Amino acid sequence: VISDLHTIDTQLWKINNDLTLIVGDLTNGGLTEEYITIFQSFKTKCIFPVVGNHDTYFGSFMKDMLNQTNYVHCVNDTCFIQLDVVTYSLNDIKQFLIQKLTENKAASHIFISQHYESYSTGEFRTDENFAKMYEQIIDSGEYPNIRAIFTGHDHVFAAFKYQNVFTFVVGAISKLDTPYTDSWWGSRELHGDVSQFLYGGQHHLDSFMRLGQLRVQINTNTIVYSFCILEGTNRQVLVEYTQV
C-alpha cells in the first residue's frame, strides 16, 4: 500500500507484490505522460488506485481509466473498497460505502482506501468528519469484517487502531526529499497517545517520517501489516502489527 508518489522515481515501484493499492496522488499533475511513466515501471500484477487531489489538476486520465472512481474489487474472500473523496461529498461517500459494506457482508476481509486522511499525525492532522464517520460505522457492529482503512495526502506514515480496525496514513513515500523537521512533532518518529494534539490521538500507535511502504500479508488466521523503509537499495521492516 503506497500513496503520494507524485511521480517520484523510486525502487518501490519495482517491488513485485501480488497487488498494490495506490491511495491517491500517483502523479504530481495528473498528466497522461506521468501515468505512462509510472505504469511502465510497476512490476505488480494488479493495481487498484484511488483519486488524489494532484491526480485531478491538469488532466482526467485517472477518471477516464477508472470510469467509476468509487468502486469495489473482490479477490476471493477479500474486498477492496476504493473511495473518491476528492470529487464526491461526505454524504455521497458515506452512502456508497454503507451500500458496498452491506452488499459484501459475506466477505472475510474488507479494506477501505481513500486519499484524504481520517486519523492523522501529518500536516493536516485528523479530519474529524471522516474519523467520526468511520467510528460510527465501526461502533454499529454491523461490519466486523472491516480490517483496515488506508489513507494518504499527509506525507507521513502513521498507524492508529480503533477497536480492532487499523487506520494507516501511507504518504511517507514523499519523504524522499523532505526533511523530518517538516513535521509538527519535529523528529523522525512519534509513539503513543497524542490526544492533546489531535482528535482520535488516543488511538495512535506510531508515526514515522521515513520513506517506505505498507505491506499487508493475509494469512489463514491473522493479517500482518509491515511498514517497510527504503534506505538506499536496502529494504527493512521498521514496525509490524498483527491483527487476529
**Which pLDDT tens digit goes with each residue over 112-128?**
999 999 999 988 899 99
Retrieve residue 85's grid coordinates: 473523496
Phi first, then psi: give them for residue 149, nearest 5 degrees. Answer: -120, 125
Band (178; pLDDT cuts 50, 70, 90): low
Residue 166, beta-bridge partner list = 148, 161
pTM above 0.85, yes or no: yes
Instruction: Count the Cβ atoms, other than its own, within 10 Å of residue 105.
Output: 11
Q: Closest Cα partner for 135 from 107, 94, 191? A: 94
Per-residue pLDDT, 135: 98
What is the average pLDDT value for the chain, to the nearest integer? Answer: 84
Q: Which residue has the cell 496514513?
A: 169
Answer yes or no: CATH 3.60.21.10 is held by domain 11-243: yes
Looking at residue 239, its amino acid is V
> Are the C-beta atoms of 34 and 27 separated by less than 8 Å?
yes
**236 band by pLDDT with thresholds 50, 70 and 90:** confident
Is there a contact between 114 and 130 (Cβ–Cβ < 8 Å)? yes
d(CA 31, CA 22): 17
pLDDT digits (tens, 9 = 90+) for 69-113: 899 999 999 999 999 999 899 999 999 999 999 999 999 999 999
How far apart are alpha carbons 21 and 26 in whole angstroms? 11
| Greater pLDDT, 69 or 166 | 166
β-strand pairing of 78-83 with 109-114:
parallel
Grid cell in block for residue 34:
506521468
CA 243 to chain centre: 17
pLDDT per position as a tens digit, 24-47: 777 666 666 666 666 666 655 677
